[in-house]
Amino acid sequence: MTDLAPATGTRAPSAGTSDHPSDQPVSNTRVTPPPEQSARARTTERVIGVLALVGTAFTVWLGLWVTPPDKQQGDLVRLVYIHPGVAWVALYLAFGLAAVSSVLYLWPRTRSLFWDRLAAASVEVGVVFNVCTLVSGAIWGKPTWGVWWAWDARLTLTAVLLVLFLGYLALRRVPAEPEVRARRSAFVALFAVLDVPLVHFSVNWWNTLHQGATVLNPGLTLKIHGSMAWTLLLGFVAMTLAFVWMLLVRYRIGLLEDWLDANELDAALAERQSEGTRTPDAGGAPAAATAGVPGGTPVESAGVA
Amino acid sequence: MRYVIAGYVVILTLLFLYAVQLAWRRRRLTRAVARATSAYPAPDAAPGRPA
């Protein structure tokens, strides 16, 4: 994850003694670009993306054509190569990473908006995988149990998990200072993630329709063998790689969004300056000399709305 | 078998669409940032600027 460089996301420094926009000398307004994604990071990201695609393609090929049908479930067992993989990513990787990142944000010694962005990215990707888990589970449930949905402990708790993390994403859209938003979100993530162990142990604690864990069971005994086991493993790896690729891209999106939010004003002022200095009608007068005046009439007379 | 095919198609389609949307969002934001930074001339290179 070489491009996950910590960045504060704070406002770019600008000259002037007051925070009011009209008091900022526009001639000195330079917009500091966000951290560039290094060539190595881009290459790593591409390699992970290609590996995820290849891994998924192989999983589909092995799962649909190569592996044998099950004695009891017949061809329906082929869903095992993809459904647990997406559930693993959603429940354990994505929401687990979000919880760890939230703790690291709340911990004073490691507090950085980097962890907040990482948690937000992880939750968004995790929500998509959570939806995939519920949908594929319903598709598997219909021919197996006779219903698309049952208010079974595991299914219900997984749906609750989705609602909790949708709430997390909704909370992040409430306007607030980055630090306030990060603190609120971290607490919500830590509350929401308490549902993960409930989902995991639900098949052991209660009588549920859902079958027990094939891999992550209490004794860590693999209940699947041969080509079926390898295909299942490949499914986990492919979904994990897809998650990592999505996380990298989503983190970058969060970084750029924060930068644009923090620098919107500076960018607008710089734009006015550059437009004003480029327009011949301005008579060569430096826009900087007048753009600081509230109302900005000289700049507007140069044709800049 | 149709449920199996449906399961694979739904999951892979959802993930593919989300991945495409991510790539599109990043591209749009990268362009927006580029506009906000590189489109402006440096103060000492701006025409009409006093020496």
A150-166 tens-digit pLDDT: 898 899 999 999 999 99
Size of interface A-B (CB pairs under 8 A): 118
Residue A240 lies in a domain: yes
- Tokens read off for A225: 């063998």
Decide if A237 is inside a domain.
yes
> What per-residue confidence (pLDDT) applies to A125?
96
Q: Do A33 and B37 touch (CB under 8 A)?
A: yes
**More confident of the two residues A3 and A182:** A182
CB A241 within 8 Å of CB A53: no
Query: Would A23 be classed as within a structural domain?
Result: no
Mean pLDDT of all residues in A134-152:
91
Tell which of A132, A169, A241 to mutate to test the B interface (max B CBs under 10 Å): A132
Q: What pLDDT shows up at residue B40?
A: 55
Q: Comparing C-alpha atoms, which of A91, A125, A103 is closest to residue A196?
A: A91
In a domain, A263, yes or no: no
What pLDDT sits at residue A259? 87
Question: What is the distance between the alpha carbons of residues A2 and A207, in angstroms, rounded to a whole number?
Answer: 45
Task: Flag whether A21 is in a domain.
Answer: no
Please check whether residue A10 lies inside any domain of the structure: no
pLDDT at A17: 38
Say if residue A117 is exposed, middle or buried (CB neighbours under 10 Å; 0-12, 13-18, 19+). buried
Tell if the pTM clears 0.80, that is, is over it: no
Structural domain that includes position A200: 39-256
ipTM: 0.79
CB contact under 8 A, B11 and A132: yes
Q: Is A56 exposed, middle or buried (0-12, 13-18, 19+ CB in 10 A)?
A: buried
Pairwise pLDDT comparison (A33 vs A291), residue with the higher score: A33
Domain borders along chain B are: 2-35
Q: How many domains does chain A have?
A: 1
Q: What confidence score (pLDDT) does residue A284 get?
A: 41
The pLDDT of residue A258 is 87
Return the residue of B nearest to A284 by Cα.
Answer: B48
Residue A50 lies in a domain: yes
The fraction of chain A above a pLDDT of 90, given in percent, is 51
Exposure letters A265-290 (e unless 16+ CB within 10 A, then b): bbbebbbbbbbbbbbeebeebbbbeb
Q: Would the CB atoms of A139 and B49 count as touching at under 8 Å?
A: no
Find the CATH number of the domain harbouring A67: 1.20.120
- Rounded Cα–Cα distance for residues B37 and A270 (Å): 9
Residues of A (259-298) whose Cβ lies below 8 Å from B? 259-260, 263, 267, 270-271, 273-274, 277-278, 282, 284-286, 288
Residue A283 is assigned to a structural domain of this protein: no
Instruction: State phi, psi for A70 to the nearest 5 degrees.
Output: -85, 155
